[in-house]
Each structure stands twice: as C-alpha cells, then as structure tokens.
Amino acid sequence: MRNSIERHNKAKEKQKMGIFDRFKVLTVNDAINESRTDKNAVLIDVRAKDVYKRGYISGSINIPMMQLELIEKRVPDKEKKIYIVGSYDNDPKKAAKKLKKMGYENAIPGGRMEEHEGSLKKLK
C-alpha cells in the first residue's frame, strides 16, 4: 500500500512539472567550461547565423534553432554530451527537448549567450 501511495505522489509531482523542468539547466559559463573539460562533449550555439558571427565561443558549433536536424551531419555520435547555448531563455531548453526526441539523450541546456562573462570570437 505504501509503495502505491509513493508512486501516486511521484506521478502527481511529475504532472505538475513544466515541460522544461525535467532538464538539468546550466549557466552559459558552466556549459562552456564543462564542454571544454569533457572530451566527449560539444558546445552547440542555436542562435541565428548572423548573430553567431557577431560573437561566438571558440570551439562552438553553430546550428540555428530552425535547422537542428543538421546536427546529424555535424555530430553523428548520439552518445556525445551536447551543451546548448542560445539567445533566449527557452531556446536551449527547446533545442535539448528536440535533440532528445532525435535520439541525443545527453543534450543539456546551457543558458543565454548574453550572460557569458568571457571574450567572444568574431567572424568576418
């Protein structure tokens, strides 16, 4: 009986959670640091290409939000950890959700680039 009640309470708790509450969310700086220290990780920037060109993290891969299906060509290994940064609060979360549906179970939202505390590279 007790296990049944516990399962029921957990199910109710899960129903209350928003769609994005199930993701581990990092700050942009944490995502950058973790992607650099983990050899099995990549940093994906989901901002529009023109925004990315104005300032990006060295070593990041730009795959705009509306073109996430291109990740299969750029990151074919679905076991890799994928840290995701973007412009808006929900973009990394939405991208992680979409990538998980595509089979990338290690997609981790990493925050907004506007909160980045380091220097950025620029494309000419």
The pLDDT tens digits of the residues spanning 24-58 come to: 668 889 999 999 999 999 999 999 999 999 999 99
What are the φ/ψ torsions at residue 13 (nearest 5 degrees)? -60, -45
* pLDDT for the residue numbered 98: 96
The span from the CA of 3 to the CA of 103, in Å, is 32
State which CATH number among 3.40.50.300, 3.40.980.10, 3.40.250.10, 3.40.50.970 fits the domain covering 19-115: 3.40.250.10
- pTM (2 d.p.): 0.77
| Alpha-carbon distances, residue 58 vs 8, 10, 47 (angstroms) | 47, 42, 15
* pLDDT for the residue numbered 17: 42
pLDDT over threshold 60, residue 110: yes
Q: Which helix (H) or strand (E) holds 62?
A: strand 61-62
Q: How do the domains of the chain map onto residue ranges?
A: 19-115
Q: What would the pLDDT profile of 49-84 be if each residue is shown by its tens digit? A: 999 999 999 999 999 999 999 999 999 999 999 999
